[in-house]
A and B are shown apart, each in its own frame.
Chain A
Amino acid sequence: MSITIEDVKKLAKLSRLEFNEEETKQFVQELSATLEQVEAINKVDVSKVDLLEKTVNADTELRADAIKQSLTAEQIVANAPESQDGAFLVPITVVED
């Protein structure tokens, strides 16, 4: 499985990360090497593996619908880079992405 520059650029966009050209090239190499390594999973026969996972019982193991005290708006925004009247402030964001 080989990775191209385009792949890395696409991944960077999905990851919301920026890389310069050199870093991008480095990622092509590194990711390719890692992917080669993870090819190891194909050595294992999984044809008989059941897909379903362990479950939680909806009837007995879920949370009852009872209100607990929330934090205050001040506590919620205490670590915010920018806030206003208890709300987080971001640059104008209009249309859904």
Chain B
Amino acid sequence: MSAYNTVIGLEVHSELNTKTKCFCACKNEFGDKPNTNCCPVCTAMPGALPVLNRDAVERAILMGLAVGCKINNYSVFERKNYFYPDLSKAYQISQLEYPLCVGGGLEIEVDGKKKFIRLDRIHLEEDAGKLIHDNAGTLVDYNRGGVPLIEIVSKPDMNSAEEAVAYLQKLRSTLLYVGVSDCKMQEGSIRFDVNISVNKEGEPLGTRTELKNLNSFKAVLRAIKYESNRQIEELEAGRPIIQETRRWDDEKGKTYSMRSKEDSQDYRYFPDPDLIPLEVSEEYIERIRAKLPKLSHQRVQEYLSMGLSEQDATLITQERSYADFFEAVLKLFNEPKFVCNWITAEVFKKLNAIEDEERTISVKPENLAVMLKMYKQGEINQAGARKIFDIIWEKDVDPVKLVDELGLKQMNDAGALKEVLVKIVNDNPKAVKELKDGNEKTMAFFVGQAMRATQGKANPKMVADIVKELIK
């Protein structure tokens, strides 16, 4: 088998976190009872008309600016006409010929290699409703109908499943940094479609297929691997690739054909006469640009100047929520390196234990700040800090109270410690001799004994100092 290239382009749909829907003033909210966030507009009652939400436009532009798009001063909403019960008007308001944002791109890194993935466009459109299957039939809920979405379309610049996932992770991270979308995969607020083709080295691009129903990064990874292998096998067997849409079956780990190009839809796009073309002035774009939050690369620079290592700065900015958390803790306890060490070690350990791809830090920054302060000042020792951390990760409790309740206050009373240690030193002549002979490791034995005797409260540094003094 000769070498094949895989060529991948991605279309990402991301719901914008506006208060109201894109074209009506109904609440943009997930999880409410069917059709309770609906009005004549989003349920396509005869006579209802769409009115564009300014914040949806602003959020789309913000994202465009964050990834270096050109913002078009003139953009047009068009109707994409097709019948489906989740689409109340039987057309989706979208953009085709004049999208809001064009160009731009993102840098990804796979196996230490950096690569720039170009974007084709970002346009604003509306989401469809939801179908719920029931014994009686299918139930149609338009609560999600009309929720603003941006569709982010990449150029076919990726060549492996790993690159595709790295791109998606970077894109999701950017969306979260910009703060325009919640990106909850479970709730479907971010969704991915993959365009994929294979071709032999040096030959023109192959026929592509489109993969749908990919609800997680893992699914994207597996589906791309499966599909590129399938296409290669087809070609090797002398069968042409059919341009079609294929659905990923996550349980079976396979893609299967949904429809081919021949019976593809004729969407009859045309400018929506209810929505006048949009004019976005340069001056307005600049005002929106001024609202751009700090993005990850800007935060990395800031953290480096605080004295963090490049590795730590990168680690802590991989998600906006981590960086925000870090900064929130710093506001109350300004010890960047100390805080960062705890987050990259202890917080990340907790996060990594979460199965879900969407991981959130569940400890309150103020609780962690209080706890770390006590730790740093020696009021509690590391064991105590960990114990408290376990508890404040699970629930919102005041660490100061916890220290009292659990009796974790570090024993810093030299007199009392000395009393305990005199006994330990007298009881363990063998260990004393070893220590005197220069075996520093024996010190750990004394610290351990001291901890046992004080229920873990002894200040280990003071223990070592006193032992050294006692055996002089």
Contact = CB atoms under 8 A, between A and B. Distances in A.
Interface string B252-279: 0000001000000110100100011111
A52 interface: yes
A96 B277 CA distance: 30
Interface stretch (A1-9, A37-45, A57-65): A57-65
Given A63-B53, A66-B25, A77-B35, A91 B83 contact: no
Contacts of A77: 35
Given A55-B74, A58-B54, A95-B247, A85 B137 contact: no
A70 interface: yes
A97 B38 contact: no
Given A55-B279, A62-B52, A63-B52, A88 B139 contact: yes
B54 A64 contact: yes
Contacts of A34: none
A11 to B, nearest CB: 10
Nearest to B23: A63
In the complex, which of the residues A53, A76, A82, A84 has the most CB atoms of chain B within 10 Å of its own CB atom?
Answer: A76
Contacts of A86: 33-36
A94 interface: yes
In the complex, which of the residues B25, B56, B275 has the most CB atoms of chain A within 10 Å of its own CB atom?
Answer: B25
Given A58-B54, A65-B18, A76 B138 contact: no
B57 A58 contact: yes
Given A85-B34, A97-B83, A55 B277 contact: yes
Contact of A65 (B19, B133, B279): B19
B284 A59 contact: yes
Contacts of B444: none
A74 B288 CA distance: 40
Interface string B171-188: 000000000000000000
B240 interface: no
Interface string B114-142: 00000000000000000111101111111
B20 interface: yes
Contact of B40 (A71, A93, A94): A71
B335 to A, nearest CB: 39
Contacts of B397: none
B386 to A, nearest CB: 44
B54 A92 contact: no
A87 B258 contact: no
B139 to A, nearest CB: 4
A42 to B, nearest CB: 20
Contacts of A64: 54-55
Contacts of A59: 54, 280-281, 284, 287
Contact of A96 (B51, B212, B271): B212
Interface in A2-20: 14, 16
Contacts of A70: 26-27, 36-39
Contacts of B43: 76
A59 B288 CA distance: 10
Given A16-B83, A95-B258, A88 B266 contact: no
A54 B276 contact: yes
9 contacts: A14-B266, A54-B276, A56-B277, A65-B54, A66-B19, A73-B33, A73-B36, A87-B139, A97-B83
**Among all A-B residue pairs, the 7 with the closest Cβ atoms:** A68-B25, A62-B54, A65-B55, A55-B279, A87-B139, A88-B140, A87-B34
